[in-house]
Structure 1
Amino acid sequence: MACRAVPRQESDYPGRLDEVYAAARDQTGDHVRPVNGPMPDLWTDWELRCLYELDSPDIENRSTTCDDGTEILWLLAADGSWARGEGASGTVHQSGPRRLWDELEHVQSKWEQAGRFPLHEMTVELGPDRSVLVSPDRGWILGL
């Protein structure tokens, strides 16, 4: 990938999936397709990031802004699955047993269909066997 990345933001904790990131950094994925819609920015759209992390736990994301202003977003999983969305080409590369970008787009679409409700409007239902986080329209029930 011909992009000299400029550090955008640093997380408060070190990355834990460096070996998966090394595979995802610039390789062609097993599945390549166009990005559906605009590139998500999981650093600034924290509500989308939180919903994605609740819906798809144990995913690490990394991103950068290139010199030309385009974005690159990597999604990484411990099982070796990875996805890379490239803003310049509008392309998604995915590999591994899961399609992490598809999962992100599913969460984004579901949240948009529910009116992008503020996360503070979600409720917690506590039970003896299971506790869940529920969206205002009850269309989203996430196990805690």
Structure 2
Amino acid sequence: MTDVRTATTLLPHALPVCENARITLFAIRRMGANGLSDARAAHLLFTAFGQDFRRPLVLLRALMADLAGTASGTIAIAPCCCARMTPAENALLTIISRIDYAPDTARLLMADLLGVRRVDGVLASAAAVSAAFADEGRPVTI
């Protein structure tokens, strides 16, 4: 029997409705594919936040570095052009959106995403990203 995989099975989640979550997702995809210094990710955050873009950009870079350094395996990200999300992308956006009001849920999702038990450092990075977006009037909701 052949293994038939469709876009819906590989990318089971629709893109978020929240514009701020889409901005976050695009930056995550760009940095994940092209490195932390991706110019398009920086330009997107500059466009979205104006002169106050540095804090969200630096904190998102720190989160991506923490994720890469802590994960026990690979974290699947889709290309920027995809109109759907991987389970890992959905989990990451859910963590960022819920870290303030459901920290226990965020902790469990992060542990599942990374495949490790000690996720406090990465969770702190996610909380900082969430706060940076919210402080600039762009809370991430999913």
TM-score band by shorter chain is under 0.3
TM-score (norm 1): 0.27
TM-score (norm 2): 0.27
Higher relative contact order (CA 8 A, sep 6+): 2
**Structure 1 or 2: larger helix share?**
2
**Structure 1 or 2: larger strand share?**
1
From the CA coordinates, give the structure whose radius of gyration is larger.
1
